[in-house]
Amino acid sequence: MRPADRLFQIILLLRHGRVVTANALATALEVSERTIYRDIADLVKSGAPIDGEAGVGYRLRRGYQVPPLMFSGDELEALVVGAKLVQAWGDPALGKAAAQAMARIEAVLPQALEQKVGASSRRFLALDCLQPAPLREPMEMLRAGMESGRKLLVGYRRADGELSQRTLWPLGLVFWGHCWTLGAWCELRESFRTFRVDRIKQVDLLDAAFDDRYGHLWRDYLANARGEGEAAA
């Protein structure tokens, strides 16, 4: 890694405002602690507002604006592939946002990297032909429920064909390569449940709220799924 890239990585590792030790930085960047001490000194000399000292740790003062990002060729290719997958398998709003994000990135790239993005866009395709037609509509509403912390009233068709109505606390979405599932707390079953998004026939966003702002319920859902297997709806 070039020294300039390493300095930028240090800024990124410190950007959350928490104290990070030189040992942790050295481990993350695969260099010696002595190199970290030297890099921190160089950053401070250049005006980066870093507080701390050797043996204690370092933190970046809040409010500091990270300089514009530069990407390697591989990083750009990863972004292109990710954006194409979102456009193919996400809802329309998310797909549009992915396309807009890539357009913004391309607009500020040097010519050589802009050509790299263009080549990657031509080489990588993500097809939505296997995506169930009813999938896209519920996805946007599910995301709205997760982001706002509001409950959803859902019409759901079970595997046996029975149609049921559920009040759900939408916690997170999981992509399985061929379908999406929703992890949620189901008020009817009074437990965590997993719902295939392509079986959701109707979604209404309710005024009633639930509190998962710190992600505790989502972590509990994941722990429950790992420990007991995913409970069917």
Query: Sign of the C-alpha dihedral, residues 11, 13, 17, 18?
Result: negative
pLDDT of 111: 80
Q: Is the pLDDT of residue 189 over 60?
A: yes
pLDDT of 213: 80
Burial status of residue 69 (CB atoms within 10 A of its CB: 0-12, 13-18, 19 or more): exposed
Query: Sign of the C-alpha dihedral, residues 54, 57, 58, 62?
Result: negative
**Region at 159 (left for phi over 0; alpha for psi -120 to 50; beta for the rest):** alpha
In the sheet with 191-196, reading across from the earlier edge strand, the strands are 191-196, 180-186, 163-175, 150-157, 200-209
Kindly report, residue by residue over 33-88, the tens digit of the pLDDT.
Answer: 999 999 999 999 988 899 987 788 999 887 776 655 667 888 889 999 999 999 98
Q: What percent of the chain has pLDDT over 90?
A: 52
The token pair at 99 is 């396309």
The residue type of 142 is L
Gyration radius of the chain over CA positions: 23
Q: What percent of the chain has pLDDT over 70?
A: 91
Where do the domains of the chain lie?
3-60, 73-123, 133-228
Pick the CATH number of 3-60 from 3.80.30.20, 3.40.190.80, 3.40.50.150, 1.10.10.10: 1.10.10.10
Q: Is the pLDDT of residue 134 over 60?
A: no
Q: Is the pLDDT of residue 133 over 60?
A: no
Could you give the angle at the alpha carbon of 7 between the alpha carbons of 5 and 10, nearest 5°? 110
Domain over 133-228 is classified CATH 3.40.50.2000? no
3-state percent breakdown (helix, strand, coil) of the chain, nearest 5: 50, 25, 30
